[in-house]
Structure 1
């Protein structure tokens, strides 16, 4: 029995501070899945070490940094705008070609196939910081030891347990019924390979050397993947522990706004705003909050490529304000 199938009683009995029922139990993960996950997580970190050695004494080529930035933006926005705001929450409606293009770009971010990603994230919203949440940092309780263990689980550990397995039939039946999305999901391994091959080929084309191709592969390929992964995982972990909570959320939902991650996460770290208004196309609900993802959605809207965009309703947002900033640990009432 996976955690999303736990009896409702277990979730109703949760008091907001205790470890989740069965928190120390983890379901077996197949060796193939475990090995693949480990490779996706660990290899980019080895690449960082290799890149540092290669750059020692001569620095990093501007070409590599520019390519890394381009691929980071394309794949990152594929995750935030495509996987998250469009496909998970339906914050807007996109033309079929754009919907598919965003799903392809997100798949190149090495965060799992589009259907599984959406299923896990919808489950996260269904049980945020309660039993059933696949990556809550409160899994082991709210004591210091439990929080440290929970932080590791929420950031990375959940990927290596049965918590990463979520029923797509239950949480993403709409995508399973979409032929374009099922094709993109099946193509995930090929898209990952393409995500690494393109920087290599671009580096070769620009520099005309194998060395230039390899350094582009490291910086715009593997290291770019590592950075995007850890920024995304930090939203799962840090953005439920550190930061401000200016808006009300569901009971026990401790999602926070963490401004230092706003630019790198393309606006995803305004996590309290998002959990307060999950279907809103803009997560930075206050003036001055950087949200590049919503900026791209606005551009798409002006080009006529998206419609039915769910922009913030000022009156509704005002009603959801908590007044004084709430600490991350304080559970809300329903």
Structure 2
């Protein structure tokens, strides 16, 4: 009875428990792309990947990856800028195509992460089990993928009431199954029709595997690496109350998300890679959207804002 009372509390950090159907769905959409990434090594050894697969996969990776970094993360979770309606809907759809859940679930988990970062209550801290080597190894696995099977769902009424009230986001969430199916099958259709006088089933299968499954698996692991690697390693030029660090080699493939130290020092900043030489393609695209008039009220870091957060 006491446990039920806690779970019914709208102010509790988590709501209902994850049931078996939810675990099966997570297992399918996490496990299959992961297996595809592993299998790609065997496949590549056998006959390789075509340049068409790479082009289709790269385009899909850029669209879906920035749907997460610009849309799910900087716009919907942290309100780093405001977007006009077409851009807002487009980013929500692009993020959904990454197959990391709907925007409300993703943003709720991430806002909770910032509230309890690397402390009890953080849904994916690698420091969850302690500081010994065995504990950190276990924590690394937990922060990278184990937390996705956690039994505690983040309370959306508490963390994302603004997103739940957005009818456009509700519609995109309702269309999630169709959007996921499109993300999986579009590469196969493009690959099967590309440059052929008739349907090429072999090219379609190859594009489905490389630009579909492997692309999704790779993006998942890059996203999870921000949770795991960037909270265990990296530089700390800015003050934060957690262990978030900058990992430079992840920046090009993460859309600039791995400049994680500034992000935790200044979560609403639209640019994470704010220092000289720090690649942040997500910030560059937000800048372009602003120039085109699609984005406004962008929270850019300035010298004063950065100086106030510099580590002493």
- Scaled by the length of structure 1, the TM-score of the pair is 0.86
Aligned residue number for residue 280 of structure 1: 269
Aligned residue number for residue 18 of structure 1: none
Shift of 1:46: 2.9
Shift of 1:237: 0.6
Alignment partner of 1:262 is 2:251: yes
Supply the distance in 1 between the matched residues of 2:192 and 2:176 (Cα, whole angstroms): 25
1:140-289 equivalences in 2 (<5 Å): 140-163=129-152, 165-206=153-194, 207=196, 208-250=199-241, 253-289=242-278
Supply the distance in 2 between the matched residues of 1:118 and 1:46 (Cα, whole angstroms): 26
Shift of 1:294: 0.1
Shift of 1:308: 0.3
Query: Is the CA contact (8 Å cut-off) linking 2:37 and 2:218 kept in structure 1?
Result: no
Q: CA RMSD in A?
A: 1.9
Shift of 1:205: 1.0
Supply the distance in 2 between the matched residues of 1:78 and 1:160 (Cα, whole angstroms): 23
Q: 2:33 aligns with which of 36, 39, 44?
A: 44
Shift of 1:218: 0.5
Aligned residue number for residue 110 of structure 1: 99
Shift of 1:53: 4.7
Query: Is the CA contact (8 Å cut-off) linking 1:51 and 1:215 kept in structure 2?
Result: no
Shift of 1:321: 1.1
Query: Is the CA contact (8 Å cut-off) linking 1:116 and 1:166 kept in structure 2?
Result: yes
Alignment partner of 1:320 is 2:278: no
Supply the distance in 2 between the matched residues of 1:151 and 1:52 (Cα, whole angstroms): 23
Alignment partner of 1:134 is 2:118: no
> Matched residue pairs, number?
300
Aligned residue number for residue 17 of structure 1: none
Shift of 1:29: 3.4
Aligned residue number for residue 310 of structure 1: 299
Supply the distance in 1 between the matched residues of 2:178 and 2:138 (Cα, whole angstroms): 34
Provide Cα deviations, 1:247-300, integer angstroms capped at 9, x if missing partner: 0012xx111000010001000000001001100000012111000000000000
Moved over 2 A (4+): 45-59
Query: Is the CA contact (8 Å cut-off) linking 1:48 and 1:218 kept in structure 2?
Result: no
Provide Cα deviations, 1:295-327, integer angstroms capped at 9, x if missing partner: 00000011011000000021121121114xxxx
SS at match of 1:322: coil
Supply the distance in 2 between the matched residues of 1:58 and 1:153 (Cα, whole angstroms): 34
**Which sections of structure 2, spanning at least 5 residues, go unmatched?**
none
SS at match of 1:245: coil
Supply the distance in 2 between the matched residues of 1:69 and 1:185 (Cα, whole angstroms): 25
Query: Is the CA contact (8 Å cut-off) linking 2:36 and 2:217 kept in structure 1?
Result: no
Aligned residue number for residue 327 of structure 1: none
Provide Cα deviations, 1:95-118, integer angstroms capped at 9, x if missing partner: 011101000000000101111001
Query: Per the alignment, do residues 49 and 286 of structure 1 end up closer, same or farther by CA in structure 2, a change over 3 Å counting?
Result: closer
